[in-house]
Structure 1
Amino acid sequence: MKKLTTFAIATALVTQLAACGTILHPERKGQRGGNIDPAIAVLDGIGLLFFLIPGIIAFAIDFSNGTIYLPGGSAQLSPEEMDALVADNVVDKQEVAKMIAARSGEAIDESAGSSMEIRRM
């Protein structure tokens, strides 16, 4: 029983040292600013309540990695770009692939997935 308790406490401390946002959302690493994810902030805050130093470290890691921030941003398209991508309310996947390749420098497989219907605002 003593070994199990020791293992549970050690696991909790190691998890807090790694930071909640870094564990739960590694894809968010590298974000710089934005809206704070309340779920990650609460989980890091719980670390502060139970273990002060690991909780502070968890907040520091999440802020430094950018994993505490909600993913944000949106694509801004001009009306001309929107007309080039959309015909009869269906997105042309080939045009999207060309635009992504032109802007990001990375090729994309337009054969994957299906057509998306959109609504203009």
Structure 2
Amino acid sequence: MRTPSRIIGGVVVAALLGQLTACGAIFYPERRGQIDGRIDPGIAVLDAIGLLFYIIPGLIAFGVDFTTGAIYLPHGKTAQVSPEKLHEAVGVDGKVDNVKLQAILETELGQRLPLNDPRLIQHRGSVEQLAAYGLVPAA
């Protein structure tokens, strides 16, 4: 009799702790106070997971994130680099210089991406493959 109540208690505690950590106000306290913006898909998914499994904590997580503004991405921050700047990393032969690309991404995004990691999967394509999808090569 004592073991099932401990299991149920453990599941309830794990569920509540999981929902508390899925709240954007805890992950990103610096985002509090925003009124609008683009919704951060990561936080929205975490809140939605809580909504799927536990209705009340999920609604509370969405309510807290929208009320505090923690669900919105910071203003002026994007994870995009203009194509004009990326052209600097492409050589005349059409090959991408990973060192130049890494430097561009580091200056634009403020993050160092491991482009020389051996686990990195690089896809090679051809002009014929682009034409099959109706795309025009522009390197």
Q: Secondary structure at the match of 1:74?
A: coil
Task: Note the alpha carbon deviations across 1:24-44, whole angstroms, 9 max, x for none.
Answer: xx7xx5788425536435324
Q: TM-score, normalised by structure 2?
A: 0.49
Which position in structure 1 is the counterpart of 2:89? 85
Which position in structure 2 is the counterpart of 1:13? 16
Task: Describe the shift of the 1:98–1:19 C-alpha distance in structure 2 as closer, same or farther (beyond 3 A).
Answer: closer
1:74 and 2:92 aligned: no
| 1:116 positional shift | 6.2
Contact 2:50 2:58 in 1 (8 A): yes
Greater RCO, CA 8 A, separation 6+: 1
Task: Describe the shift of the 1:66–1:44 C-alpha distance in structure 2 as closer, same or farther (beyond 3 A).
Answer: farther
Question: Which consecutive residues of structure 2, in runs of 5 or more, have no partner in the other structure?
Answer: 126-136
Q: Secondary structure at the match of 1:64?
A: coil
| 1:6 positional shift | 1.2
Aligned partner of 1:75: which letter? V
Task: Describe the shift of the 1:94–1:21 C-alpha distance in structure 2 as closer, same or farther (beyond 3 A).
Answer: same
Contact 1:20 1:43 in 2 (8 A): no
Q: TM-score, normalised by structure 1?
A: 0.54
Task: Describe the shift of the 1:64–1:117 C-alpha distance in structure 2 as closer, same or farther (beyond 3 A).
Answer: same
| 1:76 positional shift | 0.5
How large is the RMSD of aligned CA atoms in angstroms? 4.3
Task: Describe the shift of the 1:120–1:106 C-alpha distance in structure 2 as closer, same or farther (beyond 3 A).
Answer: same
User: Partners in 2 of 1:104 and 1:17 — Cα distance?
Assistant: 29
Q: How many residues align?
A: 108
Question: Which consecutive residues of structure 1, in runs of 5 or more, have no partner in the other structure?
Answer: none
